Structure 1
Amino acid sequence: MFGGTILLVDDEKEIVDLLEIYLKNEGFTLLKASNGIEALEILNSQHVDLIILDVMMPQMDGIEACMKIREEKHMPIIMLSAKSQEMDKITGLSIGADDYVVKPFSPLEITARVKSQLRRYRQLNVSSIKNDNEIIIDDLVINIATHKVSIDHNEVRLTPREFAILQVLARNRGIVLSMEKIYENVWNEPFWESNNTIMVHIRKIREKIEKDPSNPLYIKTVWGIGYTIE
């Protein structure tokens, strides 16, 4: 038995009933919602380890719900959709989803993806945050209180903007963040399409924390989507 609490958000009863059988057989506790509004209400009152989120739903769809969830929550999100075009997948992943599954699907596949995402999330988060003020990722140490960064015990000097970008990526470890999302988190103002500020800052951060900036160990580029620290 794997264990954990799954929030299943879908307005198609047949899909909910089918996945409920398979997930409960694997030892998961299942919470259910039929739209994004209900999902947000559940998240505000109960602990959830992973979310399975349908895209097309009434009142609040999965895209809007995912964006709102990502403002505060970092658990894995698997999106379900009948849309199979590449741009639909890119949209889902760029707003914060960790996986994207096209309908129709096998319930065994969903169960396997749930286990994979939870296993990865738990491994990434075990001992990665030493306390409220320090994030440790391999040899990279980020001290939130002192704004100091070190690599292999050697201090690295970052500008305030560079530190803020690195902190956003580190706090969302394992999640791909778009340039728009990073910019709005750091600058607290709207992002414009032709803005290459994030790209420039990422290059400078890599030059300071990576042994080989052209083959980065920490900050990875996910082409067409954004950046992530794995």
Structure 2
Amino acid sequence: MKRILIIEDDDTIAAIERDYLAVNGLESDIAANGYDGLAMGRTGNYDLILLDLMLPGIDGFTVCRKLREAIDIPILMVTARQEDIDKIKGFGLGADDYITKPFSPNVLVARIKANLAQYDRLKRSDTVEKQELQIGEVRIQQDSRRTFVGEREVELKNKEYELLLFLMMNPDVVFNKETLYERIWGYDAMGDNATVAVHINRLREKIEKDPSCPRYIETVWGAGYRFKP
């Protein structure tokens, strides 16, 4: 059974999340502040972390960054704020997905299950795929999940890596934001398409010589994105 760590200081919300997870066959523990959440998350006893941003003691952004330094599991951020800058900052610190309060508990459970399933699929593929994938100067070592541009190694967060790998495995194919969100985040087109744009921009900053005039990840206006071979 999958185990979820809920880091949430609102007792009522945490209890609702725990109960809905239990109904859907997911075990969970609750940490009521950032310090406890960080300590519990670092134990490696969980398959996914549900992380509120507004926490007493230590904020969710700091918790996310410190957790990502120690563990490689999905982190789903939860917040009452809707500003895009929060999403950009969260993804930059290693968050895998983002959901805004108020939300339907059923939608939350669906997002959690989708992230767990996507993570499991990626891990299974890592045990099978050992070869390198290279287009131009961009090279991915699938066994070690390492990415290089020429001889320079670039550090990619989980979803950045998955998105780049998917695009490189399907060169010159145009994918719209809805399709990319479904393929990478494992959820349908009801998801936040701005998430895709944020990750595309972050990838360009890391692999392109000139992100404003990309060589590899091309925007096809009105259609989506493609990786140019």
TM range (shorter): 0.5 to 0.7
The alpha carbon displacement at 1:203 in A equals 3.4
| Unmatched tracts of structure 2, length 5 or more | 163-202, 210-214, 220-224
Question: Using a 3 Å threshold, how does the CA distance of structure 1 residues 137 and 82 change in structure 2: closer, same or farther?
Answer: farther
The alpha carbon displacement at 1:106 in A equals 0.9
Which secondary structure state, in structure 2, belongs to the residue aligned with residue 71 of structure 1? helix
| Structure of larger gyration radius | 1
The alpha carbon displacement at 1:88 in A equals 1.9
Question: Using a 3 Å threshold, how does the CA distance of structure 1 residues 115 and 144 change in structure 2: closer, same or farther?
Answer: closer
Whether the 8 Å contact between 2:131 and 2:143 is mirrored in structure 1 is no
Sequence identity percentage: 32
Deviation track 1:137-188 (CA, whole Å, cap 9, x = no partner) reads 778762889xx99xxxxxx9942x2xx22xx33xx443479xxxxxxxxxxx
Which secondary structure state, in structure 1, belongs to the residue aligned with residue 208 of structure 2? helix
Q: Is 1:213–2:211 an aligned residue pair?
A: no
Superposition map of 1:45-56 within 5 A: 45-56=43-54
Question: Using a 3 Å threshold, how does the CA distance of structure 1 residues 42 and 200 change in structure 2: closer, same or farther?
Answer: closer
| Unmatched tracts of structure 1, length 5 or more | 150-155, 178-197, 205-211, 217-221, 223-230
Q: State the one-letter code of the partner of 1:142.
A: Q
Q: Is 1:142–2:152 an aligned residue pair?
A: no
The alpha carbon displacement at 1:200 in A equals 8.2
Question: Using a 3 Å threshold, how does the CA distance of structure 1 residues 98 and 24 change in structure 2: closer, same or farther?
Answer: same
Q: State the one-letter code of the partner of 1:27.
A: G
The alpha carbon displacement at 1:89 in A equals 2.0
Question: Using a 3 Å threshold, how does the CA distance of structure 1 residues 128 and 15 change in structure 2: closer, same or farther?
Answer: same
The alpha carbon displacement at 1:215 in A equals 5.0
* Counterpart Cα distance in 2 of 1:100 and 1:143: 26
Which secondary structure state, in structure 2, belongs to the residue aligned with residue 58 of structure 1? coil
Length-normalised TM-score, structure 2:
0.63
1:124 paired residue among 110, 122, 125: 122
Question: Using a 3 Å threshold, how does the CA distance of structure 1 residues 138 and 104 change in structure 2: closer, same or farther?
Answer: same
Equivalent position of 2:35 in the other structure: 37
Question: Using a 3 Å threshold, how does the CA distance of structure 1 residues 23 and 135 change in structure 2: closer, same or farther?
Answer: same
Whether the 8 Å contact between 1:93 and 1:176 is mirrored in structure 2 is no
Equivalent position of 2:76 in the other structure: 78
Equivalent position of 2:208 in the other structure: 203
* Counterpart Cα distance in 1 of 2:9 and 2:140: 43
Equivalent position of 1:105 in the other structure: 103
* Counterpart Cα distance in 1 of 2:143 and 2:23: 42
* Counterpart Cα distance in 1 of 2:77 and 2:43: 22
2:159 paired residue among 140, 153, 174: 174
Which secondary structure state, in structure 2, belongs to the residue aligned with residue 14 of structure 1? helix
The alpha carbon displacement at 1:22 in A equals 0.6
1:14 paired residue among 12, 15, 18: 12
Length-normalised TM-score, structure 1:
0.62
